[in-house]
Amino acid sequence: MYGGSFDPPHIGHALAVSAALCVHEIERVLIVPTFAHAFNKRLSAFEDRLHMCELTFKHLRGVEICSIERDLPAPSLTLHTLEALAARHPDVQLRLLIGADILTQAHAWHDFAAVQRIAPPLVIERQGYPAHDPTQPALPAVSSSEARRRVQAGESTRGWLNPSVEQYIAAHNLYRSA
């Protein structure tokens, strides 16, 4: 499971999934956009983020976009999502795909120890954050917040976002206002 706000999904997200599928013995990756952020972070509409995830990951085999959090109680908690996925798929060994930056925030998560028991993390290195496994290459330092800032400022997001996502953002006038 790879969860997140995906507001918008960017090249770093796609690279993380690609790396996980190439390096680890994984049959598929569930992309799970957050429905209601646990830390009350303001998000774009769920349907927009869900659709942008479909556009971002459609070319990767073994990837499925999952809207499970829409059906779970708010706020969205990774533990509850993993428990629901485990109940739906009792014969599947779950893993949680996270960036190394998330490890610095684990203390703020709801029962991260239980999350680790249900779905042991697969950590993807990220530039600018302490290395979890220094033998692994780090993903580029891209972020959704910087992508939003670039869109709002009228700057290019080329190389940051899938061109289909750029078109979707323009067509739906996302991130233009503060």
pLDDT tens by residue, 95-112: 999 988 887 888 888 999
| 3-state DSSP assignment of residue 123 | strand
Asked if 31 and 65 touch (Cβ cutoff 8 Å), the reply is: yes
pTM, two decimal places: 0.92
Domains and CATH numbers, the chain: 2-171 (3.40.50.620)
Q: Could you tell me the CA-to-CA distances from 118 to 5, 102, 112, 145, 177 in Å, in that order?
A: 21, 17, 10, 29, 39
Tens-place pLDDT, residues 120-173: 999 988 887 777 788 888 888 899 999 999 999 999 999 999 999 999 999 999
- Count other C-beta atoms under 10 Å from residue 93's C-beta: 11
Residue 178 has pLDDT above 60, yes or no: no
The pLDDT tens digits for 7-66 are 999 999 999 999 999 988 899 999 999 999 888 889 999 999 999 999 999 999 999 999
